[in-house]
Amino acid sequence: MTGPIFIVGSGRSGTSVLLNTLHKTLNLPCHGEGHFYPLALPLITATNDFFEKHASKSESSSHMLHDVKVEEVRGKIGDMIAEIYKKQYGANVFIDKTPGPTGIEAIPFIQEAFPDIRIIYTKRRGIEVVRSAVRKFPHVAFEGHCEIWRDSMTTWRDARPKLHVPYLEIDQHDIALNPALIAEQIGELLELNPHQVNTVKSYLLTDRPQSSGKLNSGTVNIESSGWDEKEIKIFRKICGPIMTVFGYTEDGNYRIDTE
């Protein structure tokens, strides 16, 4: 393992479980959450817009802008982000957990800054995520929770083809049901030795992931979600299309490929 690990995904989908697992078993530095590297996104967007807006000025060799390449400026932004992480952790190997759509959207923009980056995307069916989020954050409107989950999933769908670094998708459902397999997949992604894989496996087997009030237990379907008809209608409208894209069902099977 030679580079940093970035954990992204919707809130309430297992990002904390993965952070705690890797932090405690691999002894890597981290904060509870990062929320810093997404700064690269508006900076790079502003840089691109600036060079596009002043394209006519860059055509003349009498202007300094003529000799400044947009790629160089974007690279300096990435270098600055990487340098701040190195100052924080004193090493090139660390864990960053930044849940939510913004963190996912920014991932393709920081690949060059961290050549050895490994990305773990955690996901979970919308029914479970929204139920858990409503319980933990009751001040947020039901519709808002639905939109956050939808945006996290669609942003990952759009970001994934832009990645040219190793990544792994992990469903929290599988962490709970098959932690041994998840440990093997993490080991392959991070190039862990057998002892490290066994340590990760042991942690997942003995320290079961939080289930937000045991929301993972039992067979859950949309009718038994505890939502009223209005909320079910809102969920289907906002989350239904992307539920289908990722193969999730509304019934107790959780997803289409579940036997």
- Is the model's pLDDT at 174 over the cut of 70? yes
Q: Return the pLDDT at 206.
A: 85
Asked whether residue 31 is assigned to any structural domain, the reply reads yes
Q: Return the pLDDT at 91.
A: 87
Domain count for the chain: 1
- Is the model's pLDDT at 7 over the cut of 90? yes
Q: What is the pLDDT of residues 59-112, one digit of tens each?
A: 899 999 999 999 999 999 999 999 999 999 998 999 999 999 999 999 999 999
Q: Where does the pLDDT of residue 194 fall: very low under 50, low under 70, confident under 90, or very high at 90 and above?
A: very high
Asked whether residue 252 is assigned to any structural domain, the reply reads no
Give the range of the structural domain holding residue 46, as residue numbers without chain letter: 5-245
Q: Where does the pLDDT of residue 214 fall: very low under 50, low under 70, confident under 90, or very high at 90 and above?
A: very low
- Is the model's pLDDT at 259 over the cut of 90? no
Asked whether residue 250 is assigned to any structural domain, the reply reads no
Higher-confidence residue: 58 or 188? 188
For the chain, the average pLDDT equals: 93
Asked whether residue 259 is assigned to any structural domain, the reply reads no
Q: Return the pLDDT at 180.
A: 96
Higher-confidence residue: 216 or 34? 34
pTM above 0.75, yes or no: yes
SS (H, E, C) the chain: CCCCEEEEECCCCCHHHHHHHHHHHHCCCCCCCCCCHHHHHHHHHHHHHHHHHCHHHHCCCCCHHHHCCHHHHHHHHHHHHHHHHHHHHCCCCCEEECCCHHHHHHHHHHCCCCCCCEEEEEECCHHHHHHHHHHHCCCCCHHHHHHHHHHHHHHHHHHHHHCCCCEEEEEHHHHHHCHHHHHHHHHHHHCCCHHHHHHHHHHHHHCCCCCCCCCCCCCCCHHHCCCCHHHHHHHHHHHHHHHHHCCECCCCCCECCCC
Q: Return the pLDDT at 2.
A: 82
Q: Return the pLDDT at 87.
A: 96
Q: Return the pLDDT at 220.
A: 87
Q: What is the CATH number of the domain that holds 134?
A: 3.40.50
Q: What is the pLDDT of residues 8-51, one digit of tens each?
A: 999 999 999 999 999 999 999 999 999 999 999 999 999 999 99
Asked whether residue 253 is assigned to any structural domain, the reply reads no
Asked whether residue 226 is assigned to any structural domain, the reply reads yes
Mean pLDDT of 180-206: 96
